[in-house]
């Protein structure tokens, strides 16, 4: 099992927008149509009503005749547009930082900074499963904060080199003013937060995510840690060899988040 810290892996944004330059025109079309119709495209519900979004979703492979395509791909397009507008900030959290965040809350304030981004977790460290489905590892979490101070969050699962596609889990929108309460949630009614009974989880130190509260807690602790430890972040360019041994590298610049004293 690889708990990969060396470089950012190919992101869901790159999978959703494999053709360079498609995100910008979609973002502009969404802005223009939203203004003309009086719809706020910074909310997921408003974004999903726009014709430009449906046209984009229908253009995706195998989506033209899929009646559920908008529901399946719309949230990913929403976060892709906001991620693009924020200049595509990718944060790669080291295994040490991920474990530190699970164990307790840092001292900083949980302010989303930047307003949108993608938090890529160590590979195969966090796992989740919908009812009746096999567990999938969590690749990462998109977030975006609206001007109305509402946080939208999308969990991405099942990003694997041996098969196409991915899984997405949109979470309910949440007021950012509540973020300080997420730092010390008791997210599960039964069992410890982030616990899992996956085979080998005790040996490998794996974590399970079963509730939205655990996602909000992890994000809030990440925001707080980055604010409290500015020297923990370091900006990197993508590796020259994207097809090096191991997971395919992202072509996007990324910020590595390390554990510091």
Find where tokens 């909310």 sit.
43
Q: Regarding predicted confidence, which is higher, 66 or 1? A: 66
Per residue in 32-61, pLDDT (tens digit) is 999 999 999 999 999 999 999 999 988 875
- Residue 193: C-alpha distances to residues 22, 27, 131, 149 (Å): 39, 37, 18, 27
Q: Cα angle vertex 257, ends 240, 187, to 5°? A: 130
pLDDT of residue 2: 45
Of the pLDDT bands very low, low, confident and very high (cuts 50, 70, 90), residue 261 is low
Q: Which residues pair with 9 in a beta bridge?
A: 249
Per residue in 195-229, pLDDT (tens digit) is 998 888 888 899 999 999 999 999 999 999 999 99
**pTM, 2 dp:** 0.94
Of the pLDDT bands very low, low, confident and very high (cuts 50, 70, 90), residue 142 is very high
Where are the extended beta strands (E) located within 74-149? 90-93, 116-120, 126-128, 136-145
Task: Name the DSSP letter for residue 218.
Answer: H
210's CB contacts (< 8 A; 6+ apart) are 128, 188
pLDDT of residue 241: 80
Q: Cα angle vertex 23, ends 147, 33, to 5°? A: 60
Using left for φ > 0, alpha for ψ between -120 and 50, and beta otherwise, residue 165 falls in left
Q: Which of 76, 89, 113, 79 is nearest to 219 (CA)?
A: 113
């Amino acid at each position: 099992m690889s708990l990969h810290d060396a470089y950012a892996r190919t992101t869901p944004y790159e999978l959703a927008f494999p053709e360079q330059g498609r995100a910008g025109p979609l973002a502009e079309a969404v802005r223009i149509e939203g203004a003309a119709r009086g719809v706020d495209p910074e909310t997921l519900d408003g974004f999903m009503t726009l014709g430009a979004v449906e046209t984009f979703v229908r253009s995706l492979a195998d989506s033209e005749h899929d009646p559920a395509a908008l529901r399946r791909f719309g949230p990913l397009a929403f976060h892709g547009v906001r991620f693009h507008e924020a200049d595509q900030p990718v944060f790669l959290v080291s295994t040490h930082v991920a474990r530190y965040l699970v164990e307790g809350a840092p001292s900083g304030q949980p302010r989303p900074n930047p307003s949108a981004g993608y938090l890529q977790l160590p590979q195969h460290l966090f796992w989740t499963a919908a009812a009746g489905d096999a567990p999938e590892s969590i690749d990462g979490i998109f977030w975006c904060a609206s001007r109305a101070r509402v946080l939208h969050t999308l969990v991405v699962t099942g990003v694997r080199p041996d098969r196409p596609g991915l899984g997405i889990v949109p979470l309910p929108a949440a007021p950012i003013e509540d973020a300080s309460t997420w730092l010390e949630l008791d997210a599960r009614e039964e069992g410890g937060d982030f616990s899992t009974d996956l085979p080998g989880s005790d040996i490998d130190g794996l974590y399970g995510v079963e509730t939205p509260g655990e996602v909000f807690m992890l994000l809030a602790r990440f925001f707080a840690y980055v604010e409290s430890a500015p020297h923990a972040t370091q900006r990197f360019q993508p590796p020259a060899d994207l097809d090096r041994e191991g997971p395919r590298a992202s072509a996007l610049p990324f910020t590595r988040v390390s554990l510091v004293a």
